[in-house]
Amino acid sequence: MDLSSLIQKNNTKIIFVILDGLGGLPINGKTELEMANKPNLDSLARVSACGLHIPVDYGITPGSGPGHFGVFGYDPLQYEIGRGVLEALGLDIELQKTDVALRCNYATIKNGLIVDRRAGRIPTEKNIELTNMLSENIKEIDGVKIILKPGKEHRFCLVMRFSKNITEKQAMVTDTDPQKEGKPPAEPIALNKESIEVAEIAKKFIKKAEEILKNEEKANYVLLRGFSALPDIPSFEQKYGLKACSIAVYPMYRGITKLLGMDILPVEGDIKEEMELLKKVYKDYDFVFLHIKKIDSFGEDGNFEGKIKKIEEFDSFIPEILSLNPDTLVITGDHSTPCLLKTHSWHPVPLLIKSPYVFGATVNSFTERECLKGELGIIHATSIMPLVLANTLRLRKFGA
């Protein structure tokens, strides 16, 4: 349903927290959330509306882009936006209609097989050094300008800037990341006639980069992901009438929110720095998005104890969030990343909405199994924002 005719503005404040990769699966009988010592989250859950959300659809494992678009109320099946665009925007690259953007990984290759898709999560400083080296040696390919920018750890961004406008169809090229170690890198394959040119440039870039990186111990190869061009999408403020900002360290998530027109606030470092910024800017916005990344990273690494500790660390900051007295507080994830699977999964994600207008007292703690008992039930992610608006009294009555 289009909510635009029901939107009404007021002075309410919303804090929306995404604990990236929040959900898990039992190991020795308990999930990461069930094992974590998180008294503040559990106490909050007992007075909140709880449930689980499905990021895309039943059985569908979402990437981070679809996961975030879903919770922000943009149907991921309608707005299928490539990770390259999001990464580029998150790194403050001013994309043009002439651009194809890619999200890239440094990787380790040996005897033709990828032995580490993330090059041992090389330090960001090393990434900067390598990306600068590639930039100096690959300035253009077949008349197409090559723009490179380092991200965090093993990630960097590649933008191919053409002398003509590029459609989304022309950027439809397959990823080269095999998604598992022990496999050879895939070829970038054009998915239609229009995207052949982009695929050929990608092949030449990979070859040139491999030659330049051949003497590196870890980062001796590049994997290309998320070929994409700029889409047309309504802004968050147009959709909901909310002045919004984004507090996120990693480029991917900064890119998502920049694409939606949120103000991107500069922040580096850990949860503590993000919290300090939250307190500083809270009064200036109707909606503050706070992204916590490392829970997902530990899930992908299969680090059960690490994921538990990161959840516990976030829990210690709950009193600081509550001290701001938001009218509505949302805590959820963009998807589940169970340590058991070491990857994103299709499992529903725990969701908590605190406001004066919920029943509460339906769950005892903030875990996957407890949230099944909550008043929200299992909902699609796109239903979260209508509930948030309703709980901040920002939706008029429908009909007479």
DSSP for 334-360, please give it. SSB--TTTTS-BSS-EEEEEE-TTS--
Whether residue 224 has pLDDT greater than 90 = yes
Asked if the structure places residue 147 within a domain, the reply is: yes
The model's pLDDT over 338-376, given as tens digits with 9 standing for 90+, comes to 999 999 999 999 999 999 999 999 999 999 999 999 999
On whether the pTM is more than 0.75, the answer is: yes
Residue type, 75: D
Q: Choose one of 228, 263, 297: the last residue of a domain.
A: 228
Same domain for 119 and 212? yes
Alpha helices in 91-195 (DSSP H): 124-137
Same domain (yes/no): 181, 279: no
pLDDT tens digits along 116-135: 999 889 899 999 999 999 99
Last residue of a domain, one of 228, 257, 288: 228
Q: Would you say residue 397 lies in a domain?
A: no
Strand, helix or coil at 392?
Answer: coil
For residue 81, name the pLDDT band (cuts at 50, 70, 90).
Answer: confident
Cα 148 from Cα 131, distance rounded (Å): 7
Q: Would the pLDDT of 246 be above 90?
A: yes
Segment 271-283 shows an average pLDDT of 94
Q: Which domain holds residue 334?
A: 4-78+233-391
- Is 361 contained in some domain? yes
The answer to whether residues 63 and 111 belong to one domain is no
Both 119 and 249 in one domain: the answer is no
- We report the CATH number of the domain holding residue 240 as 3.40.720.10
The CATH number linked to 121 is: 3.30.70
The residue from 228, 251, 269 where one domain ends is 228
56 and 106 part of one domain: no
> Average pLDDT of 67-89?
88
Say whether both 91 and 175 belong to one domain.
Answer: yes
Higher pLDDT, 255 or 25: 25
Confidence class for position 152, pLDDT limits 50, 70, 90: confident
Residues contacting 280, CB < 8 A, separation 6+: none
What average pLDDT does the chain have?
A: 94
Residue indicated by tokens 């099946």: 77
Out of 132-141, 263-272, 340-349, least confident range? 263-272
Query: Do residues 204 and 332 share a domain?
Result: no
Digit-coded pLDDT (tens) for 385-398: 999 999 999 999 99
Q: Do 165 and 268 belong together in one domain?
A: no
* % pLDDT > 70, the chain: 100
| pLDDT above 90 as % of the chain | 83
- Decide if 399 is inside a domain: no
Residue 232 in this model has a pLDDT that exceeds 90: no
Together in a domain, 206 and 247? no
| Total structural domains within the chain | 2
Cβ(352)–Cβ(332) below 8 Å: yes
In the predicted model, is pLDDT for residue 185 greater than 80?
yes
pLDDT of residue 277: 95
- 222/208 same-domain check: yes
The pLDDT value given to residue 344: 96
